[in-house]
Amino acid sequence: MTLPRDGSHSGSSSMWGNPTAKKRAVQLSLDAALVSRAERLGGDLGAAAARGIAQHLKSVEQVAWADRNRDAIAAFNHHIDAHGTLGEDERHCG
């Protein structure tokens, strides 16, 4: 899943950028230079932080998924290398 730049997502069961999700107040300490840059640009710092956290979580979850499925992916690729894909012999070009 790729997150749109505006943080929205059309998936019904996803928490990424869900504008109707329940919000919870938290306190963060951020690099002062980043906060100053954000203030100068007039952006929504809370929304930007939420998008950044969502993108980070997505990345961590993708790595975890790949780690959990590494053996199955290797076995599948080995099978394809050895036997080809379904219908590969039936392909006709031109």
Find out whether 62 and 73 touch, Cβ atoms under 8 Å. Answer: no
Distances (CA, A) of 86 to 22, 63, 72: 45, 28, 18
Tokens of 71: 């053996």
The single-letter DSSP state of residue 18 is -
Please list the pLDDT of the chain residue by residue as tens digits (94 residues). 344 444 444 444 455 567 788 989 999 999 999 999 999 999 889 888 999 999 999 999 999 999 999 999 999 999 999 999 887 777 666 5
Whole-angstrom Cα distance, residue 89 to residue 87?
Answer: 5
Distance CA 59, CA 4 (A): 14
Quick one: tokens of 15? 């928490």
Model pTM score:
0.62
